[in-house]
Structure 1
Amino acid sequence: MDEDIQKEHLEEQVSEGQETTESQSSEKTSAETEEDNKLMGILSYIGVLCLVPLLLKKDDEFVFFHAKQGIVLFIAEVITAFVAVIPTLGWIIAPIAGLIWFILSIIGIVNVLGGNKKELPVLGRYADKIKI
C-alpha cells in the first residue's frame, strides 16, 4: 500500500516538474525572440545592414517597421554620398547631413531598445510610403 502511494506521489512530482520545464522553455523562447527582434531592429539603422532584417524577419511587425525606417535613412545616406562629390556645395552639405543621419540612427536604435515604434524625425513619414 505504501509503495503505491509513494509511486503516485513520485509520478505527481515528475509531471509537475515537466510542466515547470515546459513553461520555462516557452518563457525563454519569448525572451529570445524579443532579443532577436531588438537585434534585427538595431541592424535596421546601420547603413546597408537595414536589408538583413527585411530579408530575415519580414513577418514581424516591429522589425518590419524599423527596417522600413532604416531603408529611408539609408537612401538619405546614399543621396548624401552623391552630393558629397560636388565641389564646394557637397563639401559643406555632406558633413552636416552625415551628422544628422548619425543622430537619427542613434534615435532609431534607442527606440528599438525601448521597444517603441516611433517614426524618425523628418524622414520617418516617408517609410510609410514604401511598399515592400
Structure 2
Amino acid sequence: MAICNKCGQQLPENANACPYCGTFVNEQNAQQAASQQVAQPVDPQQAAPQQVAQPVDPQQAAPQQVAQPVNPQQNYQQNYQQNYQQGYQQAPQQNYQPGYGAPQQGYAQPYVTPDMDVQQSKGIAWLSYMGLLFLIPMFVRRQSDYTRFHVKQGATLFAADLAYGITYGILMAIINAIFPGHYSYSYLYYMPSYYVHSDVYNVFSVLLGLGGIFFFVLAIIGIVNAATGKRKELPLIGKIPWIATLLDNTVYKQ
C-alpha cells in the first residue's frame, strides 16, 4: 500500500490524491524525484585521474639532429654548379665589362669570369702582334674581352708599322733623287753591274732603319704580354685611339 508523504495515511490502490489531506500523488512523486536530484559529492577515488605529465626518458626521446661536418670538396662542387646555372640567366654587373661569355640579347650563355677568359684566349691572342695575323684572333675569339684588347693593340701596331714603312720608302726615294748614286760596271762578263747608293743615302737608310727595330721590339713586348695573360698597352703607340675606335664601330659593334 502507498503512503501519503504529507499526512502519513495509507492511500488506496490507484488513487490519484490522498483522501485525507487532498495531496495529489503525482505532485508527491515529482517532489520526491526533485529531492533526489541533489548534487552528490564527488568521490576523489572514483573521479577520473588527471593526466600528469610524465618525465621524459632521455633514452626514448627523439635524437636531435647533430650538425655534420661540411665536406669542402662537396661544398665547392655545389656552389660551382649553382653559380654556373645562374650564369645562364644573368652576368655580374660589377667589375666586369660585357665580353666573352656575357649573356647577349636573345641568347643564354654561361658566364665566363675574366680569369677564365684569359686562360682560354691567351693561346691565340699573341697572334695579334704578328702583322696581318691579328685577323685570326679578331674573328675566332670575337666575343672575348681579353682578345679584343690585344687585337686593338696589335692592329694599332700594324697600322703604325705600315705607315712608317710607307713614309720610309717616300723619304728614301726623295734622298736618292737629291743624292743619286751610280752604276758599277765590270769588265768581266760574269760580274753584272749594280747600283751603288750615295753615302748620304746610306746614312739615312741606317738611321731610319732603327724605326723598324723599334716596331720589332714592340711586337715582342706585345707577344709576351698576350701569352702571359697581361693586359698592358704598348709603349708610345698603345694609347692611340684611332684603330681601336674603328674596330669598335665596325667589327665589335653590338
TM-score (norm: length of structure 2) = 0.36
- Quote the residue 2:165 is aligned against: 81
Worse-superposed segment, 90-99 or 108-117: 90-99
- Mark the runs of 5 or more structure 2 residues left unpaired by the alignment: 1-76, 82-115, 173-200, 248-254
**1:61 and 2:145 equivalent?**
yes
1:117, 1:39 → 2: CA distance? 14
- Quote the residue 2:244 is aligned against: 130
**1:91 and 2:205 equivalent?**
yes
SS of residue paired to 1:130: helix
Q: Considering Cα pairs closer than 8 Å and 6+ residues apart, tell me whether 1 or 2 has the greater RCO.
A: 1
| Structure index of larger Rg | 2
- Of 97, 102, 117, 2:216 maps to 102
SS of residue paired to 1:58: coil
2:119, 2:131 → 1: CA distance? 21
- Mark the runs of 5 or more structure 1 residues left unpaired by the alignment: 1-18, 24-31
1:50, 1:102 → 2: CA distance? 15
1:75, 1:121 → 2: CA distance? 15
- Quote the residue 1:51 is aligned against: 135
1:127, 1:65 → 2: CA distance? 12
Letter in 1 for 2:162: V
The question of whether the paired residues in 2 share the 8 Å contact of 1:38 and 1:113 is answered with: yes
- Identity fraction in percent: 30
Q: Tell me the alpha carbon deviations over residues 34-78 of structure 1, each in whole angstroms, 9 at most, x when there is no partner.
A: 565123211000011112211221210110000000000001110
- Of 112, 117, 126, 2:231 maps to 117
Report the CA distance between 1:84 and its aligned residue.
2.3
Report the CA distance between 1:108 and its aligned residue.
0.8
The question of whether the paired residues in 2 share the 8 Å contact of 1:44 and 1:69 is answered with: yes
RMSD: 2.9
SS of residue paired to 1:99: helix
Q: Tell me the alpha carbon deviations over residues 17-36 of structure 1, each in whole angstroms, 9 at most, x when there is no partner.
A: xx9xxx9xxxxxxxx97565
Aligned pair count reads: 106
The question of whether the paired residues in 2 share the 8 Å contact of 1:69 and 1:127 is answered with: no
